[in-house]
Structure 1
Amino acid sequence: MTRVFAQPDPARLRTFAEDMRDGNFVVPISRRMPLHDVAAAHESLEKGGGGKIVLLT
């Protein structure tokens, strides 16, 4: 068994937030779907490929 420990690092979090703001870090979003289609979104993720799915309210 491998244990993973995380330590709070405000400086790293700030750098990450700035990278997000400046467009240096992009989350690949393959689809945007309404929340009521959550079952279809889950099935799509199980098939693999593409990026993340964003559920919209």
Structure 2
Amino acid sequence: MDDEKPKKFFVALSYLTHPTFLKLLEERECKFGFDQAGVLVVPCQASELQRILSERVWI
């Protein structure tokens, strides 16, 4: 696993319809469940999340 430090992202709710972002949220659910206090932790490298957020493909 990479030693990349966690980064904070502010994500518009419209990204919740992005297929790749939805997959990350499903993986997060499997790892942490729905009962996580505080901020949402997405199980990926910050660079991967940046790539997803920069995509212009929407369903």
Fold-level similarity (TM above 0.5)? no
TM-score (normalised: structure 2): 0.25
Whose strand proportion is higher, 1 or 2?
1
Higher relative contact order, chain-length normalized (CA < 8 Å, sep 6+): 2
User: Structure 1 length normalisation: TM-score?
Assistant: 0.26
